Amino acid sequence: MNVRQAGKRPTAVAAPPNEPIIRLRDVGKIYTTGSGNFTALSAINLEIYPGEFLGVIGKSGAGKTTLLNMISGVSEITSGEVQFYAPEQVSANGRSPSLTLNDLDENALALWRGRNLGIVYQSFELLPSLDLVNNIMLPQDFAGVYQPAISKERALELLDIVELREHAYKLPAHISGGQKQRVAIARALVNDPPLIVADEPTGNLDTVTAETIFQIFARLVAQGKTVVMVTHDQNLAARFSRRVHIADGRLVDEAAGGELDTAVAHPHSLHLPTNQQTNKPTNAANQPAIHLRNVVKTYENAAGKFTALKGIDLELHYGQFVSIVGKSGSGKSTLLNMLTGIDHPTSGQVCIGGQDIYKMSESQRALWRGRNVGIVFQFFQLLPTLTLLENTMLPMDYCNVFPAQERPLRALELLAMVGLADHAHALPASVSNGQQQSAAIARALATDPPIIVADEPTGNLDSRAADVVIDVFQELASRGKTILIVTHDPSLTSRTDKTIHIVDGRIVDPAAGQTAPRLEERPYPLPTPMVQP
């Protein structure tokens, strides 16, 4: 499946000394939506130099991801131009040393990306029908440099770097979200590109794995590669060789960027809907909110059987705010799937509000879930053709709760609570990933469920927006709701009532969690740069 170059390419222009690898000149991006035009970027001028580790900082909705899309040529520019100056070692291989990306046709742009760019997306973008090795080899196929034995050897070498070689022949569905992100990073390195762009690459990883990934990027920069990374993690922000701050689609100086980040609703300004009260099942007065008895979950795939949960016993009560922590692949997301009735346990019992939910039929469990559990997924799951207001109202319509005439006002109150009242009539595609996550949280509260579970609910939010979300959860817990969040952020666990540690599919005490097997903190050797045929 090789992509062939088509159409004319611009005339090559040799890059002068100290020329940037990427130059943006007056770049603008306007999205057209059902509610009108939305300016995501305005007059961006930026030079990125070879060997830089550039951090792109800004609050949710600032335009960070759109900026990466302009640099990588995955979204059409509305105005301005993006120039790529090929590093010296690349032009020695016969490639054009300078290109204006918006002058390339789709095929030529795809070829350029395959040879010169490694992209790490927030949502992994792995093909579900291919195992991890073949997912990593895909860019070589597109770039026309695929050689079966050599490409496979390199893919396995990269899986070693991200500590996943033992999972090489598994399908993406059989590994955790954090592991999928590491596979995506390995795939971005497979063609030895001079430029790597990464959109929150550590957002879904535990702190040890995140540090490992950051060190890998830092070592790539030390070898002369250029890395551009979007992040909300203030602990990482100070470690880039240079940072740029973006706010409302414009680059701002660092001080202005810091000031703009404070423009998030203060916790004391939150106004929860007045009917957001404790909505316990009527038969649950003396029952725990959640009770798991010896729950086991085993998956079977081509590589054999894998037990994700190993005899989980757990009891939680109404009004508890609980964090679930553990390294990537430990079983956290699988545990949430058991609690929400999304995935059936292999054995054991799951009782929610005194009901054994796996004694229900699929349709009964779907209706039960809609009324009793609010779910916040890692990747939003908003319907793209509905506005944020309509997405928030959807659970009320589906479960037939609250009078129809009250639903729009209630949805608007929930959107205001997460800072999205001004975007209520916008489509998901016209707001940022962080804003989509906030809308997903509002939707999870729509039916006033007694239990809310969230898988990395703050992973795509800047620190102040994340604080607002945690404040909302704390307030809901104080009103009697049970809140469970999976998180890799240790600063969040200090704000919850209870922390559950999972290691290799088992719940352990915190001391055991600290001594559990973890990724080694050592400098990782990088693979030898690939020689293009």
- In angstroms, rounded to a whole number, what is the distance separating the alpha carbons of residues 189 and 186? 5
- Region 185-202: mean pLDDT is 87
Q: Is the pLDDT of residue 325 over 70?
A: yes
Among 106-115, 121-130, 137-146, the range with the most confident prediction by mean pLDDT is 106-115
Q: Enumerate the β-bridge partners of residue 41.
A: 29
Using one digit for the tens of pLDDT, what is the confidence trace for 336-370? 889 888 888 999 999 998 889 999 888 888 888 88
More confident residue, 82 or 417: 82
92: exposed, middle or buried (Cβ count in 10 Å: 0-12, 13-18, 19+): exposed
Q: Which of 483, 439, 503, 485 is nearest to 465 (CA)?
A: 439
Q: Catalogue the long-range contacts made by 522-526 (C-beta closer than 8 Å, 24 or more residues apart).
A: 523/215, 523/219, 524/161, 524/212, 524/215, 524/216, 524/219, 525/161, 526/161, 526/216, 526/219, 526/220, 526/223
Note the pLDDT of residue 272. Answer: 57
Q: Catalogue the long-range contacts made by 44-49 (C-beta closer than 8 Å, 24 or more residues apart).
A: 44/70, 44/80, 44/249, 44/250, 44/251, 45/251, 46/22, 46/244, 46/251, 47/20, 47/22, 47/23, 48/20, 48/21, 48/22, 48/23, 48/226, 48/228, 49/18, 49/20, 49/21, 49/226
Q: What is the DSSP string of 423-478?
A: GTTS-GGGS-HHHHHHHHHHHHTTT--SEEEEESTTTTS-HHHHHHHHHHHHHHHH
- Region 219-227: mean pLDDT is 87
Using one digit for the tens of pLDDT, what is the confidence trace for 265-291? 333 344 555 555 545 554 445 678 999
146: exposed, middle or buried (Cβ count in 10 Å: 0-12, 13-18, 19+): middle
Q: Is the pLDDT of residue 260 over 60?
A: no
Note the pLDDT of residue 286. Answer: 64
Element (H, E) at 484: strand 482-486
Tokens coding 383: 């319907």
Q: Which of 285, 289, 323 is nearest to 451 (CA)?
A: 289
Tell me the pLDDT band of 48, cut-offs 50, 70 and 90. very high
Domains along the sequence of the chain with CATH: 22-261 (3.40.50.300), 318-331+365-515 (3.40.50.300)
More confident residue, 303 or 373: 373
More confident residue, 5 or 358: 358
Note the pLDDT of residue 14. Answer: 38
Note the pLDDT of residue 313. Answer: 93
Q: Is the pLDDT of residue 167 over 80?
A: yes
Chain-centre distance for alpha carbon 339: 22
Q: What is the DSSP string of 173-213?
A: GGS-HHHHHHHHHHHHHTT--SEEEEESTTTTS-HHHHHHH
Tokens coding 106: 């789709």
Q: What is the mean pLDDT of the chain?
A: 78
Contact 289, 306 (CB under 8 A): no
240: exposed, middle or buried (Cβ count in 10 Å: 0-12, 13-18, 19+): buried
Integer CA distances (angstroms), 279 to 92, 362, 445, 480, in order: 68, 23, 11, 8
Beta strands at 79-85 and 22-33: parallel, antiparallel or unpaired: antiparallel
Q: How many CB atoms lie within 10 A of CB 153?
A: 12
End-to-end CA distance of the chain: 17
Note the pLDDT of residue 96. Answer: 44
Angle (CA) 495-497-501 rounded to 5° is: 95
The shares of helix, strand and coil residues in the chain, as percent rounded to the nearest 5, are 35, 25, 40
Contact 401, 394 (CB under 8 A): no
- In angstroms, rounded to a whole number, what is the distance separating the alpha carbons of residues 451 and 437? 18
Contact 258, 238 (CB under 8 A): no
Residues ≥6 apart with Cβ < 8 Å to 403: none
Phi/psi of residue 228, nearest 5 degrees: -115, 120
Instruction: Name the percent of the chain lying above pLDDT 90.
Output: 21
**Amino acid identity, position 86:** A
Tokens coding 180: 């999928």
Note the pLDDT of residue 141. Answer: 63
Rg of the chain, C-alpha, whole Å: 24
This prediction's pTM: 0.58
Of 177-181, 299-303, 501-505, minimum mean pLDDT range = 299-303
Element (H, E) at 315: strand 304-316
- Region 20-29: mean pLDDT is 93
Note the pLDDT of residue 280. Answer: 55
Contact 246, 56 (CB under 8 A): yes
Note the pLDDT of residue 2. Answer: 32
Residues ≥6 apart with Cβ < 8 Å to 516: 327, 501, 503, 504, 508
